[in-house]
Amino acid sequence: MASRIGQLLANWNDQRQLGTVCAADTGFVIERDPDTVRAPDVAFVTAARHREELAYFPGPPDLAVEVVSPGDTFTAVQSKALLWIECGVREVWVCDPRTTTVTVYTPAGSRVLGSAAMLNGGELLPGFAQRVGELFGAG
């Protein structure tokens, strides 16, 4: 599922060139001394903030996507989402295949989108819109 979301974001970004879509192997330094590095399942960093030459990105991504895996609890993934927001991420999407929902977290709060709802990128991802069910492969 994470690869599907990453591909949809990459396709969107290929047309707009507004930043970089990162896979789970990209680490983000969210604390210093000692360094704490986290890697969401998928991330997006705006072009203004991206530095290609660094091993780990200094600071959080602009968008973090977390997928609830079979071994995860929603509560554990929700905790990750809230940590991302505390670290300065502008938006977090928690995708739950069991319920076919996406919970969108922002500094202002959260909302749950069902499979028929549209997930819109808003100001962060202008022009990105995808029906939630299609993120999960449900036509």
For 66-88, the pLDDT digits (tens) are 999 999 988 999 999 999 999 99
Q: Binning pLDDT at 50, 70 and 90, where does residue 5 land?
A: very high
The pLDDT value given to residue 68: 95
The per-residue b/e assignment along 37-76, b for 16 or more CB within 10 angstroms, e otherwise, is ebbbbbbbbeeeeeeeeeeebeebbbbbbbbbeeebeeee
Whole-angstrom CA distances from 100 to 7, 129, 137 are 18, 17, 10
The pLDDT value given to residue 33: 84
Reported as a single tens digit per residue, the pLDDT across 118-136 is 999 999 999 999 999 999 9
- Please count the other Cβ atoms lying within 10 Å of the Cβ belonging to residue 115: 15
Its pTM stands at: 0.92
Residues in the chain: 139
The domain in which residue 28 lies consists of: 2-135
How far apart are alpha carbons 120 and 125 in whole angstroms? 8
User: Which CATH number characterizes residue 86's domain?
Assistant: 3.90.1570.10
Number of independent structural domains in the chain:
1
